[in-house]
Amino acid sequence: MSVTAQEASTDRRASCPAMMVAAPASNQGKTTVTAALARYHRNQGRRVRVFKTGPDFIDPTILEKASGAGVEQLDLWMVGEETCQTLLADAASQSDLILVEGVMGLYDGSPSSADLAKKFGLPVLLTVDASGMAQSFGAIVHGFTTYDPELAFAGVMANKVGSPGHADMLSETLTDGVPYLGHMLRDNEAVLPDRHLGLFQAAEISDLDVRLDRLAEQIEGTRLAELPQEIEFVSGEPNVVDQHLEGMTIACANDAAFSFAYAANIRCLKAMGAEVKFFSPLNDITLPECDAIWLPGGYPELHLDQLAQNLAMKIAMKAAHEAGTPILAECGGLLYLLDILEGVDGKKAEMAGLLPGHGKLNSKLSAIGAQSLAMSSGVLRGHTFHYSSLETPLESVARATSVRLNKPGEAIYSVGNLVASYVHFYFPSCPAAIADIFKSGKNNGVLG
């Protein structure tokens, strides 16, 4: 059935209460507050959709558990303005509330959370970790809410507050008419545990529902329980993806060691005509029948013994590689394909041995930031974030570009039809380039 231009335009508009949860810096409790709000409103019977600003794999697992709905990434550079617009409009047409968790500090990065909020008219809930703080709370709020006059604020809330009296003291320090919407007390029984890459993933926290409900109870009776203002979103033009992978089956690693895969990447593969079959390098002894393999990032360093002892899977991976099956390995996937992987405690384990080299987990961050990779069929966008380092005799076949620094970024390695890098790619940024990797790997010159 045909749709007129006027009807299509009408169909692309949707309104929904929405706001961004942001903070002055990382580790202020943005995820905790966003999860508490999502769970509270879900418990009231509302349909809640949550988005995460920036290329994050971990926080979305918590936010999905809190809201009961899938969580997508919003990033003006990696995802693109038009796709972000469409994701928000689609969510608005099906939801009673949209929450967007910011990344790092409100004004950090380019583009920043503030840039995203301004682009789509999202009012900001400024979340401040007020532990060990009194009058300085008002100074921080004043600075952040006046720094950019074009940015709208829904209000401010205090997190990790010591007592109701402490909360009263904090609220009295506000001088600019910014609404004080409430506070959340420190609650050790509800804290979300973390490690080197961030929070634990939802599946690793056995009592997560209990913690989320405890957090949601703190929203009750505060102005935080009120719905934010309604925002109108307009969908971008439909993105038509060519059937580059029609008839292909791609095996995607998916378990506790390899879980850093964007939902948008899976959708992109399917939109290109591929069937996606999941398997576990931790537990399975064979690969599914497939035409290509994708090893996303994750936590192989936390599962050294199990990965090393699963000889059948390592043999299956080696046989697939020797048979010419295209393989894409990202970050943790790259580490799994090395000869040796060493944990932060110095313990070493033998990995699959498809890439010569030794990976080592370090106690400090090794690399972070947006990355782009120029290929013969276009430019792939993504990011890097890892604590490990790599020693290999291999020469890189290409290098990504560090977008912020405008200089060479992560190395791209290849052996046969295997392509491996620390970069986590966002497939929809250039589907044709991803299709080239999964169809032919390096041997057809897709890396330039």
Q: What is the pLDDT of residue 317?
A: 98
Mean pLDDT calculated for residue range 46-73? 97
**pTM for the whole thing?**
0.93
Task: Give the pairing type, strands 198-199 and 194-195.
Answer: antiparallel
On average, the pLDDT of the chain sits at 93
pLDDT band at 6 (very low <50, low <70, confident <90, very high): very low
* Residue 444 pLDDT > 70: no
Locate all alpha helices (DSSP H) within 29-146, ordered by sequence: 30-43, 59-67, 81-92, 113-120, 136-146
How many helical (H) and strand (E) elements, i.e. helices and strands, does the chain have?
13, 26
Q: Name which of 321, 277, 309, 318 is nearest 417 in CA terms.
A: 321
Q: What is the pLDDT of residue 86?
A: 95
Which range, of 7-11, 84-88, 324-328, averages the lowest pLDDT? 7-11
User: In residues, how long is the chain?
Assistant: 448
Q: Name which of 374, 307, 383, 395 is nearest 347 in CA terms.
A: 307
Mean pLDDT calculated for residue range 56-82? 96
Q: What is the pLDDT of residue 198?
A: 86
Strand partners, 330: 421
* CA dihedral for 16, 27, 386, 343, sign (positive or negative): negative
CB 397 within 8 A of CB 442: yes
403-431 pLDDT per residue, tens: 988 899 999 999 999 999 999 999 999 99
Q: What is the pLDDT of residue 445?
A: 52
What is the percentage of the chain residues whose pLDDT exceeds 90? 89
* Residue 65 pLDDT > 50: yes
The CA distance from 287 to 295, in Å, is 12
Mean pLDDT calculated for residue range 33-47? 98
The CA distance from 62 to 131, in Å, is 23
Q: What is the pLDDT of residue 441?
A: 57
79-102 pLDDT per residue, tens: 999 999 999 999 999 999 999 999
Q: What is the pLDDT of residue 448?
A: 56
338-358 pLDDT per residue, tens: 999 999 899 999 999 999 999
Mean pLDDT calculated for residue range 178-191? 93
Task: Give the pairing type, strands 418-421 and 327-330.
Answer: parallel
* Residue 5 pLDDT > 60: no
Q: How far is CA 126 from CA 38, 140, 406, 448, in A?
A: 16, 10, 31, 45
201-241 pLDDT per residue, tens: 999 999 999 999 999 999 999 999 999 999 999 998 878 88
Helix (H, G, I), strand (E, B) or coil at 193: coil
Catalytically active residues are 331
Q: How far is CA 47 from CA 35, 70, 224, 404, in A?
A: 14, 12, 17, 37
362-393 pLDDT per residue, tens: 989 999 999 999 999 999 999 999 999 999 99
Q: Which domains does the chain have, with CATH numbers?
A: 5-234 (3.40.50.300), 249-440 (3.40.50.880)
Q: For 362-397, list the strands marked E by DSSP.
A: 367-375, 378-386, 388-391
Q: Is 397 exposed, middle or buried (0-12, 13-18, 19+ CB in 10 A)?
A: middle
* Residue 297 pLDDT > 80: yes
Give yes or no for a cis peptide into 111 (omega within 30° of 0).
yes
Concatenate the DSSP letters of all residues of 325-356 into one string.
--EEEETHHHHHTEEEEE-TTS-EEE---SEE
Helix (H, G, I), strand (E, B) or coil at 262: coil
The CA distance from 409 to 258, in Å, is 23
What is the percentage of the chain residues whose pLDDT exceeds 70? 96
Q: What is the pLDDT of residue 4?
A: 29
Q: What does the CA dihedral 254, 257, 258, 262 come to, rounded to 10 degrees?
A: 100
Which range, of 291-300, 415-424, 438-447, averages the lowest pLDDT? 438-447
Other Cβ atoms less than 10 A from the Cβ of 421: the count is 27
Please tell me the chain's helix, strand, coil percentages from 3-state DSSP, rounded to the nearest 5.
30, 30, 40
- Which helix H or strand E contains 309, and what residues bound it? helix 304-309
